[in-house]
Amino acid sequence: MRYNFTFRQIAITNFNRAAVELEQVGADHADLRGFNLLDPYQTLCKLPTIVAWLQQHKLTVDRTAFLHVSKHTHWDIHIDHGSHDVALNLPISGCTNASTHFYKFREEAISTLTKSRGTGLPYLEYYDPNPELVDVYYLTKPAVLNIKMPHSVSNSTDIDRVCLSLRFRQDESFDTWIDSML
């Protein structure tokens, strides 16, 4: 694991305007459930406020995902598969009372390579009979999430939790941006 943090909430300039743009992305993909990859170019074309912020920080998005966690659902403890270490999660709807939990394993966990709901992309799901909860966050504002730390999502509310997740090209500009948060 490259980074030793769970999450950081961040400020995005004019996020109130971006929230309206994100609502439209949510409406465009209302039929999707689980974890679904979206075309980065088409998605970012609908988010000019986010694009302006990304340009200010010289960040290049190379993957966008639409996450729809249905009401009364719990996603098992997992680590996201792939080369990305962090994700920028942007709330769309129903995020206030749904939570992401981060864990440390007390003993050697059993890992299973499984497929995500929606895309069927691989990710590592873990089982430890007694994991240690190390942090919890609610996606009430944009947050950078360490996706290489074991985590789960819990939505015990009566409404679905929907967010957009951005993954970045990990270059010098990305490293500078991450370092500024730590």
Query: Would 2 be classed as within a structural domain?
Result: no
Query: Would 98 be classed as within a structural domain?
Result: yes
Query: Would 1 be classed as within a structural domain?
Result: no
Per-residue pLDDT tens over the stretch 145-174 = 999 999 999 999 999 999 999 999 988 989
Give the bridge partners for 93, in sequence order: 162
**DSSP codes of every residue in 63-82:** EEEEEEE-TTEEEEEEEE-S
Query: Would 53 be classed as within a structural domain?
Result: yes
Query: Would 169 be classed as within a structural domain?
Result: yes
Residues of the domain holding 16 = 7-181
Q: Map tokens 């074309």 to a residue.
A: 45
| Residue 51, SS3 per DSSP | helix
Structurally, the chain folds into a number of domains equal to 1
Residue 1's pLDDT band (cuts 50, 70, 90): low
Which pTM does this prediction carry?
0.92
Predicted pLDDT at 82? 81
Q: Is the pLDDT of residue 119 over 70?
A: no
Query: Would 159 be classed as within a structural domain?
Result: yes
Helices marked H in the chain — which ranges?
A: 15-28, 40-45, 48-56, 172-181
How many Cα atoms occupy the beta-carbon half-sphere of 75 within 13 Å?
Answer: 30
Query: What does the alpha-carbon distance between residue 156 and residue 159 come to, in Å, rounded to a whole number?
Result: 9
Residue 81's pLDDT band (cuts 50, 70, 90): confident
Mean pLDDT of 49-56: 97
Tell me which H or E stretch contains 24.
helix 15-28
Q: Is the pLDDT of residue 17 over 60?
A: yes
CATH code (residue 116): 2.60.120.10
